């Protein structure tokens, strides 16, 4: 979606990402573009599944953190979480990227399916 541009730096802070990994350039690119911070200062956790909160946050950051608008319809998305603005942006995006799992639950900790992720990408680029 971003055009597979090589990262500007090869400085890798993550102990669990090796230069021989197929995702090496993508991880460094995402880090230098503020899309991910890793799971700690020294780990990326490349084999961990992504949650719904992770995916909308990656998209929101890739879009340069547009302003979140509207009211929060979700009882499970509290103010001040790293994903709060990303969720509100995704729900109020035109076209809507996601509408939650039901009217009042986003389920930020639920793992995303591949189908959900490609739908989020498709709607973000729509």
Q: What are φ and ψ of residue 51, in 5° steps?
A: -90, 170
What is the DSSP-derived secondary structure letter of residue 38? -
Q: How far is CA 4 from CA 1, 25, 50, in A?
A: 8, 9, 20
3-class DSSP state of 105: strand
Residue 3 is predicted with a pLDDT of 61
Q: For 38-47, 50-59, 113-122, which range has the lowest pLDDT when averaged over its residues? A: 113-122
pLDDT, residue 26, reads 87
pLDDT at residue 112 greater than cutoff 80: yes
Q: Among 2-11, 63-72, 116-125, where is mean pLDDT lowest?
A: 2-11
State yes or no: pLDDT of 4 exceeds 70: no
Q: Any residues with CB less than 8 A from the CB of 27 and at least 6 apart, and which?
A: 12, 14, 17, 21, 36, 44, 46
User: Quick check: helix, strand or coil at residue 62?
Assistant: helix
Indicate if the pLDDT at residue 80 is higher than 70: yes
């Amino acid at each position: 979606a971003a055009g597979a541009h090589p990262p500007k730096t090869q400085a890798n802070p993550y102990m669990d990402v090796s230069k021989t990994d197929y995702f090496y350039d993508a991880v460094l690119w995402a880090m230098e573009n503020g899309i991910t911070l890793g799971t700690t200062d020294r780990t990326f956790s490349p084999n961990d599944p992504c949650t719904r909160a992770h995916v909308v946050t990656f998209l929101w950051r890739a879009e340069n953190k547009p302003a979140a608008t509207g009211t929060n319809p979700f009882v499970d998305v509290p103010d001040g979480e790293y994903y709060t603005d990303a969720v509100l942006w995704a729900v109020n995006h035109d076209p809507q990227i996601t509408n939650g799992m039901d009217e009042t639950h986003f389920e930020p900790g639920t793992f995303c399916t591949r189908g959900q992720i490609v739908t989020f990408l498709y709607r973000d680029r729509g």
